[in-house]
């Protein structure tokens, strides 16, 4: 197994696809997706375009759908939800499909949707993602951070490092054997430094600061928790993720 970490979707190679690709958007899209599926949501369908989301979701009855839209950290007017995982309680999401479009996370998923296996990862479900990698042993794995509008984001790279760090710990592979690019080594180092204080790291991150200005303190607390959800969002068909049974 070779891991490759890309800080943003734009940095991924355009002439190849990996056996397994993992999208990471800690603040907050992939955290929200994992939370929805853990709470009994039927599926999560991702869109980069809001108008396309509205058109596709219109075919579903209002009892069976939820529309989540976020731009710049704020809820899109007229949508049921923004991008806060705290709103995705079983009472709200049980048995319903979440149609979601966010500033960054949904773009990352669309960029990697042609991979043989596509997963969504965050700190909250890191262990489930690692377990999948250990069981399936894919030859090439891309971990793709969502970043912020094309630029590096601290929290996504730290989460990618958390995944790589755990794979190293649970296999006999050294960092050198596992790393397909230098970003893997740097991401492991970043996570290793902050693993005992991830909330502080999120407070230092530019998007974390953006969310704090929007009074999303509790979201940051939730998103900084590691291995609290035993759920693996996996692509069933292009753009549609379900919980792996």
Q: What would the pLDDT profile of 125-178 be if each residue is shown by its tens digit? A: 999 999 999 999 999 999 999 988 888 999 999 999 999 999 999 998 999 999
| Rounded-to-integer distance, Cα 42 and Cα 95, Å | 5
pLDDT of residue 244: 87
| Rounded-to-integer distance, Cα 26 and Cα 224, Å | 8
Task: At 59, give phi and psi (nearest 5°).
Answer: -75, -10
pLDDT of residue 172: 86
**pTM of the full predicted structure?**
0.96
| Rounded-to-integer distance, Cα 245 and Cα 12, Å | 29
SS3 152: coil
pLDDT digits (tens, 9 = 90+) for 36-72: 999 999 999 999 889 999 999 999 999 999 999 999 8
Can you point out the beta strands (E) in the chain? Answer: 2-6, 20-24, 43-46, 65-71, 74-75, 97-101, 117-121, 140-145, 233-237, 240-243
Q: Which of 101, 73, 104, 120 is nearest to 10 (CA)?
A: 104
pLDDT of residue 48: 87
pLDDT of residue 104: 80
The answer to whether the beta carbons of residues 66 and 97 sit under 8 Å apart is yes
Cα angle 162-222-82, degrees, rounded to a multiple of 5: 110
Encoded tokens for 103: 């500033």
Q: Please name the residue that has the structure tokens 């058109």.
A: 55
pLDDT digits (tens, 9 = 90+) for 69-123: 999 888 999 999 999 999 999 999 999 999 999 888 788 898 999 999 999 999 9
Task: At 211, give phi and psi (nearest 5°).
Answer: -70, -35
Q: Which fold has domain 2-240?
A: putative 2-phosphosulfolactate phosphatase (3.90.1560)
| Rounded-to-integer distance, Cα 19 and Cα 108, Å | 16
- The domain locations on the chain are 2-240
For the sheet containing 74-75, what is the strand order? 2-6, 140-145, 20-24, 117-121, 233-237, 240-243, 43-46, 97-101, 65-71, 74-75
Model confidence at 245, pLDDT cuts 50, 70, 90, reads low
């Amino acid at each position: 197994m070779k891991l490759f970490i890309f800080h943003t979707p734009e940095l991924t190679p355009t002439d190849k696809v990996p056996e397994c690709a993992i999208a990471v958007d800690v603040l907050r899209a992939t955290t929200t997706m994992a939370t929805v599926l853990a709470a009994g949501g039927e599926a999560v369908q991702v869109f980069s375009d809001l108008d396309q989301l509205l058109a596709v979701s219109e075919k579903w009855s209002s009892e069976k759908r939820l529309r989540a839209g976020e731009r710049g950290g704020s809820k899109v007017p007229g949508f049921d939800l923004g991008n806060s995982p705290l709103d995705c309680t079983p009472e709200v999401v049980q048995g319903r499909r979440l149609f979601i479009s966010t500033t960054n996370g949904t773009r990352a998923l669309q960029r990697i949707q042609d991979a043989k296996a596509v997963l969504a990862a965050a700190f909250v479900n890191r262990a489930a993602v690692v377990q999948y990698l250990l069981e399936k042993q894919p030859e090439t794995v891309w971990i793709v951070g969502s970043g912020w509008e094309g630029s590096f984001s601290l929290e996504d790279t730290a989460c990618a490092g958390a995944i790589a760090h755990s794979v190293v710990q649970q296999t006999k592979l050294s960092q050198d054997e596992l790393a397909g690019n230098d970003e893997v080594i740097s991401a492991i180092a970043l996570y290793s430094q902050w693993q005992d204080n991830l909330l502080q790291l999120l407070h230092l991150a530019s998007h974390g600061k953006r969310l704090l200005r929007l009074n999303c303190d509790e979201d940051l607390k939730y998103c900084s928790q590691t291995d609290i959800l035993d759920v693996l969002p996996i692509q069933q068909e292009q753009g549609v993720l379900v919980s792996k049974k």
